[in-house]
Amino acid sequence: MDLQSIKNRFGIIGNSPALNYALNTAVQVSATDLTVLIVGESGVGKEAFSQIIHALSSRKHNPFIAVNCGAIPEGTIDSELFGHEKGSFTGAVDSRKGYFETVSGGTIFMDEIGEMPLGTQARLLRVLETGEFIRVGSSKVQKTDVRVIAATNRELLEFTQKGRFREDLYYRLSTVPIRVPSLRDRKEDILLLFRKFVVDFSERYKTSPVQLDEEAKNLLINHRWQGNVRELKNIAEQISVLSTSTQIGGNEMRRFLPESIGNRLPMITGQPTASGDFSNEREILYKLFFDMKKDVTELKKMFLEILQNPSLAGNAANFTRDSLSNDYQNINDHQSMLAPATIPTSGNTQPSFLPSGSHSSQPVLLHDDGIHQHEEVEESLNIVDKEKELIIKALKKHKGKRKDASLDLGISERTLYRKLKEYDIDE
C-alpha cells in the first residue's frame, strides 16, 4: 500500500516532508511488535498514527483500546490497567479484569504517558520486559500479549532528569520514536486542511463553503496554531457557522483567530483597566521587581567602588539620586511602594552615598569596619523549588482547598495531588 492510499484510508491530509517521514516510519514499524513512542504537541493527531500502526499490523483483527493516562485518577490507574481482586481496596466489591488482560493479543494506545505515576511506571516496565503483570490485591502472576503504543506532548527525557519519569521505561518505550510535526512546521498543508474542514462543515450545516482572499490566507498560514490541527478545525467550524458572507477577508479572519500566546516571561502587555485586569498588573509588578533587583546589584558594586576610591562619592551621589528619583516616580505611577534599605552608620568613615529618600544634599557616612569584599547573592532559580513555593502559596491563599488552588495554578486537581506527595507538602 502506497503512502497516498494510506492517507486516503485514514483521512490524513498534507504533503509536507516531515509528515510523510512520520507516516513512512509508522508504516514500516506496523509489521513488527516493537513498542512505539509517538511524540508531538497537543492536537497534531497522535492517536491517528496509533490507529494506522494497529490497522496495518498482524493484530488488526484483535482489540485496540486508547487509554488517557492523564485522565485516570492516580488511586485507580493500577486497577484500570492491571485489574483487581475482590476486597483489595474500598469499593472493590467484585474482581475485575484490567486492560492488559482484556486486550491480550491486541494493541493498547497509552496517551499522555508522561502523566503516569511512578509506581504504575514500574508495573508497566515489567509488562513490557516480561509480558507479566499482577492484579491489585493478588499474588498470582499472569501473562499477556499486548503491543504498547505510547504518546506524549512532553519531552520525556527532561522528565527523566527531574525524576518524574523512569529512565529505563523511557528507553524501553522509545524503541521506535515517531515525531509528528506541529501545524506551524507544515505551513504548506494549512490551506488544504482548512478547505477540507469547511467543505465538511458546509455539508453538515447545509451552507455554502467559504472562500478566502489573499490577506485571509496569509493570516491563516502565519498564525501560531498552538492547538495545531484541532484548533484549525475549530476555527473552520466557527467561520462556517458564524460568518455572514461566503467571502472571508483579512478583517473577518482576524475576528476568528485568537491572539497568539507568546512566551510566558514577565513583560508589560498593556495598561491595567478599570475593570481589574489583574494579569497586566501582575506582569508590570514582575517587570518592576526584576528592574529593582538589577538596580540593587548595581548599587552594591557602586558602594564597593566608593569604599575603595572615596573621590567617586560626589559623582555617584548625583547620578544615583537622579536615577532613584525617576524609579520612585515610575513606581508611584503604578501605586506601588518601595521601602529604602537602612544601613547603620557610626564612627570615622569614608564619605559615600545612601539612597535614603531625604532632600538633604549632605553625604551619608558608611561604616567600613568589617567590609572586606563584595559578594553578590543570587536567589535560587531552581524550577522545582519555585514550583513547590507556588503550590504552598496557592494552598495558603485558598485555605487548603485543592480544587481552588489547582485552578489558580493552572493544573488539574489530580496533578496537584501528585505534586503534594512528590514534594512532601503538608497541607
Of the candidates 136, 162, 181, which is a domain's last residue?
181
Same structural domain, 12 and 105: yes
CATH code of residue 98: 3.40.50.300
Contact 313, 306 (CB under 8 A): yes
**Residue 221 resides in a domain:** yes
**Residue 204 resides in a domain:** yes
Give dist(CA 126, CA 15) in Å, integer. 39
Give dist(CA 64, CA 105) in Å, integer. 9
Contact 37, 150 (CB under 8 A): yes
Positive or negative, the CA dihedral 235, 237, 241, 243 is: positive
Q: What angle do CA 184, 189, 190 make, to 5 degrees?
A: 65
CATH code of residue 243: 1.10.8.60
**Residue 233 resides in a domain:** yes
Domain count, the chain: 4
Of the candidates 149, 181, 213, which is a domain's last residue?
181
Give the pLDDT score at 93: 84
**Residue 374 resides in a domain:** no
Q: What is the pTM of this model?
A: 0.60
Give the pLDDT score at 209: 92
Same structural domain, 46 and 177: yes
Same structural domain, 212 and 325: no
Of the candidates 224, 256, 288, which is a domain's last residue?
256
Same structural domain, 237 and 296: no
Same structural domain, 104 and 197: no
State whether residue 84 is helix, strand or coil.
Answer: strand
Phi and psi at residue 209, to the nearest 5°: -60, 140
Residues with pLDDT less than 70, the chain:
1, 260-287, 289-290, 308, 310-382, 427
Same structural domain, 177 and 190: no
Residue type, 33: D
Give the pLDDT score at 200: 94
Same structural domain, 125 and 46: yes
Phi and psi at residue 179, to the nearest 5°: -100, 115
Same structural domain, 156 and 220: no
**Residue 97 resides in a domain:** yes
Same structural domain, 99 and 40: yes
Give dist(CA 92, CA 424) in Å, integer. 28
Give the pLDDT score at 394: 84
**Residue 107 resides in a domain:** yes
Same structural domain, 224 and 308: no
- Catalogue the E-assigned strands of 120-202: 132-134, 141-143, 147-152, 176-179
Same structural domain, 177 and 188: no
CATH code of residue 396: 1.10.10
Give the pLDDT score at 298: 74
**Residue 239 resides in a domain:** yes
**Residue 263 resides in a domain:** no
Same structural domain, 284 and 161: no
Give the pLDDT score at 336: 45
Question: Domain residues for 41?
Answer: 3-181
Give the pLDDT score at 264: 41
Give the pLDDT score at 342: 44
Contact 246, 208 (CB under 8 A): yes
Contact 163, 49 (CB under 8 A): no
